[in-house]
Amino acid sequence: MSESKLEADHTSSSCGCALEPGRKALGVDPEIKAANLRRLRRIEGQVRGLQRMVDGDQYCADILVQLSAVQEALRAVGRGLMKNHLEHCAATTFRSGSADEREAMAEELLQLIYKHAR
């Protein structure tokens, strides 16, 4: 299925998760959202710390250790977002979406897995 056809078919998904810009997630637990925002702010601070380390000519190995910590923190946020997407948007689409919507969701999930497995 072409990308434009995929987008056209999935714009009115039964769960509200659409492939057009400006789409909104459904089923976002306020506590999970708050936790993700806290994590992202902490990561933002870690990145600023990395910038200071680079600017201050810190030891490369120390910078690499901190960089790994930031990458793992981002992966943790991504895992949580993927879990929410699977539990709400994808599950709803597979339960009650049309055949085109289910196909579009399957393709979207495969693309997410490919992008995040690198």
pLDDT score of 23? 75
User: Which residue ranges make up each domain of the chain?
Assistant: 3-116
Question: For the chain, which ranges sit under pLDDT 50?
Answer: 1-16
pLDDT score of 17? 58
As its CATH architecture, domain 3-116 has Up-down Bundle (1.20)
Tokens of residue 66, six digits: 């901190």
pTM, 2 dp: 0.73
pLDDT score of 21? 58
